[in-house]
Chain A
Amino acid sequence: DTGVSQDPRHKITKRGQNVTFRCDPISEHNRLYWYRQTLGQGPEFLTYFQNEAQLEKSRLLSDRFSAERPKGSFSTLEIQRTEQGDSAMYLCASRSGGRAEQYFGPGTRLTVT
């Protein structure tokens, strides 16, 4: 069990550019989650996948955000036309069916300049 991994760990981009993050969940975890965390706050839910199906999206996930999990394994989160307000830590988590605990990855820290 290697844990949840995320790539890159840190991304600096200019306003208006597109960025894509990757998450590899714990193997055999069929549920995958994306959260966003800003300084001094707890993580906030963005979206959730069960296998390859995206089953829930938060209102925080504007039209500039899109997430995929094409084969029910890794997931990507893309932000188009980044804004300074998108600067945050983007966290991925996974869990297995029948358990409520979610296990988090190390996060991708996004800085938009």
Chain B
Amino acid sequence: QKEVEQDPGPLSVPEGAIVSLNCTYSNSAFQYFMWYRQYSRKGPELLMYTYSSGNKEDGRFTAQVDKSSKYISLFIRDSQPSDSATYLCAMVQGGSEKLVFGKGTKLTVNP
């Protein structure tokens, strides 16, 4: 079992839809959780960062962490064609330097 599981999709939604992206993980020592957006042939771009359990909102993006279920989510409201990209979840243990990534979910938002 991989430490971080993420459905690779692909996921296709119409413009304006609410998108839900998820990851599960097995290592209960993970404390810091990140979501990155990666356009084709580009480096990952940090979107959201949360520490431990809870919600964090930034504009159209909301990140949720449920440590009891070992489950994290990213919600995108009012999705736009420019949101079309691969979304990667990543997490790290306290005291560790190694980010552990999911495989990424490829999202297409259709105009």
A interface, CB within 8 angstroms of B:
4, 6, 31, 33, 35, 40-45, 48, 55-56, 58, 89, 91, 93, 100-107, 109
Q: Complex: how many Å from CA A105 to CA B100?
A: 17
A14 to chain B, nearest CB (A): 22
B44 touches A91 (CB 8 A): yes
Task: Verify B98–A56 contact, CB threshold 8 A.
Answer: yes
- Which of A6, A58, A100 neighbours the largest number of chain B CB atoms within 10 Å of its CB? A100
Residue contact B43 to A45, C-beta cutoff 8 Å: no
Interface contacts (Cβ under 8 Å), in number, total 62
Select B42's contact among A41, A93, A106, beta carbons within 8 Å: A106
Q: For chain B residues 42-79, which have a beta carbon within 8 Å of chain A?
A: 42-46, 49, 51
Q: How far is the CA of A89 from the CA of B90 in the complex (A)?
A: 17
Given the complex, which residues of B lie within 8 Å of A91, measured CB to CB?
A: 43-44
Residues in B whose Cβ lies below 8 Å from that of A41: 103-104
